[in-house]
Amino acid sequence: MPAETDARIARLLHHRKAGLSQGDPIIPPITASATFHLPSVQSGGQFYGRNGNPSWDAVEAQLSILEDAETASFPSGMAAIAAALFATLKAGDRLIIPSDGYYVTRVLSDGFLKPLGVTVTQIPTRDYETADFTGVAVVYLETPSNPGLDVVDINSVATRAHLAGARVIADNTTMTPLLQRPLDLGADLVVAADTKAPAGHSDVLFGHVSGRDAALMTRVRDWRRMSGSIAGPFEAFLVHRGLETLEVRLDRMCASAATIADRLAAHPAVRNLRYPGLPGDHSHRVVGGQMANGGFLIGFELADAGAAEAFLARCPLIEQSTSFGGTHSAGERRARWGDGVAEGFIRLSVGVEPVEVLWQAIAAALAAAHQP
Ligand SMILES: *Cc1c(COP(=O)(O)O)cnc(C)c1O
């Protein structure tokens, strides 16, 4: 991790210190109150739970340190994405979204933005670097894309989008702000599902929007207040706790993923392995520039749907579940959701299990899945 990242992690861990008085809890309390003492509307501070809550303030302080930007928290990744899109788009605008990115973003755009008069154009992540952004209001990108793990150069896309007068929103869920910094690379807003690695324990949904344009962030916050898309204080507490160990979890997960990706790539049963940064992968040139490492997600194909299902069922150290970024390794056959991937494609999220034990379980399940 570069020195500025180390400094951010240390600040995140001690962000409450300067504001503490004798007897205050070191850990932020869960403030379960819908309404707050308000003898006068002139006094400022908290007054109603749809406008603010001290438990959000604590987690937003952490995320603002990581993003170097103002942050608004949301009750899920999709709530954050909806806020960013509704805050930036109006009737007659054109939106570009990835055809191979998180599918709910596409469904939301087609089902709710299109009927309001937004033109939605889907293009593959790989084509962003050459796409024509003339007449586009918002270029929405996701890199590495979920689940295909295709990568785009954020800075190059942002530069071209801005020349065309478009705003750029980047979904940074697969990397987290510790591994990739879209705002530094020119994105106007970053959105993320903290449900994944930032919370990290598969026990809460959460999301955030961050940005350095105060007017744009005011609009995002207005959307939250008016749509009522607010996180609960207990959820904010869980994410606050998760963020304290994000770096140590990512260290283990990403190092293990690199080891396992190397070994899977050499395995005879495995085809079309995708792990950003692996020599030979088309993403290799971008990794090391915008990405701190290849992340903790691996995509690969087994012969067919049957082989993939058998592998997942037989591996005792891979939870068969959707979502990713938790402490437990998890995998699923993405074609079961209709993603545009091969029938035998598995998205593997590498957890914090010691790597040799994990690899032995994977290797044994691969061997068993390939016995006729
Ligand atoms: C999971 C995910 C989301 C949505 O997050 P939720 O918390 O499930 O709403 C958005 N984008 C990406 C890339 C994701 O992986």
Q: What is the DSSP string of 87-135?
A: HH--TT-EEEEETTS-HHHHHHIIIIIGGGT-EEEEE-GGGTTT---TT
Q: SS3 of 30, please?
A: coil
Q: Are residues 76 and 13 in the same domain?
A: yes
Q: Are residues 250 and 238 in the same domain?
A: no
pLDDT of 316-344, one tens digit each? 999 999 999 999 999 999 999 888 899 99
Query: Closest ligand 1 atom to the C-alpha of 146?
Result: 13
Q: Tell me what pLDDT residue 337 has.
A: 87
- Alpha-carbon span 295 to 291, nearest angstrom: 8
Asked whether 188 lines ligand 1 (CB < 6 A), one says no
Query: Closest ligand 1 atom to the C-alpha of 76?
Result: 7
Asked whether 100 lines ligand 1 (CB < 6 A), one says no
The CATH number given to whatever domain includes residue 43 is 3.40.640.10
Q: Are residues 364 and 262 in the same domain?
A: yes
Atom 11, ligand 1: residue with shortest CA distance: 102
What's the chain's average pLDDT? 95
Asked whether 171 lines ligand 1 (CB < 6 A), one says yes
Asked whether 194 lines ligand 1 (CB < 6 A), one says no
Query: Closest ligand 1 atom to the C-alpha of 206?
Result: 7
- Bridge partners of residue 208, in order along the sequence: 73, 192
Number of structural domains (the chain) is 2
Residue ending a domain, among 243, 263, 280, is 243
Asked whether 73 lines ligand 1 (CB < 6 A), one says no
Q: Tell me what pLDDT residue 277 has.
A: 78
Asked whether 220 lines ligand 1 (CB < 6 A), one says no
Asked whether 146 lines ligand 1 (CB < 6 A), one says yes
pLDDT block averages, 10 residues each, the chain of length 372:
90 97 98 94 86 97 98 98 98 97 96 98 95 98 92 96 98 97 98 98 98 98 98 98 98 98 96 89 77 95 96 97 96 89 96 98 89 56
Q: How far is the CA of 314 from the centre of ligand 1 (A)?
A: 27
Q: Are residues 154 and 193 in the same domain?
A: yes
Asked whether 207 lines ligand 1 (CB < 6 A), one says yes
Residue ending a domain, among 243, 276, 304, is 243
* Tokens 């437990």 belong to residue: 328
Q: Are residues 233 and 252 in the same domain?
A: no
Q: Are residues 178 and 324 in the same domain?
A: no
Residue ending a domain, among 218, 243, 268, is 243
Q: How far is the CA of 42 from the centre of ligand 1 (A)?
A: 39
Q: Tell me which H or E stretch contains 170.
A: strand 167-171
Q: How far is the CA of 173 from the centre of ligand 1 (A)?
A: 7
Omega cis (within 30) before 144: yes
Q: Are residues 105 and 227 in the same domain?
A: yes
Q: How far is the CA of 39 from the centre of ligand 1 (A)?
A: 40
Q: Are residues 86 and 51 in the same domain?
A: yes
Which of 152, 172, 173, 191 gets mutated to test ligand 1 (max ligand atoms within 8 A of its CB)? Answer: 173
Q: Are residues 234 and 174 in the same domain?
A: yes
Asked whether 74 lines ligand 1 (CB < 6 A), one says no
Which of 76, 81, 99, 104 gets mutated to test ligand 1 (max ligand atoms within 8 A of its CB)? Answer: 104
Q: Tell me what pLDDT residue 66 has.
A: 98
The CATH number given to whatever domain includes residue 274 is 3.90.1150.10
Q: Are residues 230 and 301 in the same domain?
A: no
Q: Are residues 317 and 333 in the same domain?
A: yes
Print the domain residue range for 339. 246-369
Q: How many residues does the chain have?
A: 372
Atom 4, ligand 1: residue with shortest CA distance: 77
Residue 229 makes CB contacts below 8 A (sequence gap 6+) with: 74, 75, 79, 82, 83, 223
- Alpha-carbon span 69 to 212, nearest angstrom: 5
pLDDT of 174-224, one tens digit each? 999 999 999 999 999 999 999 999 999 999 999 999 999 999 999 999 999
Q: Are residues 238 and 256 in the same domain?
A: no
Atom 8, ligand 1: residue with shortest CA distance: 77
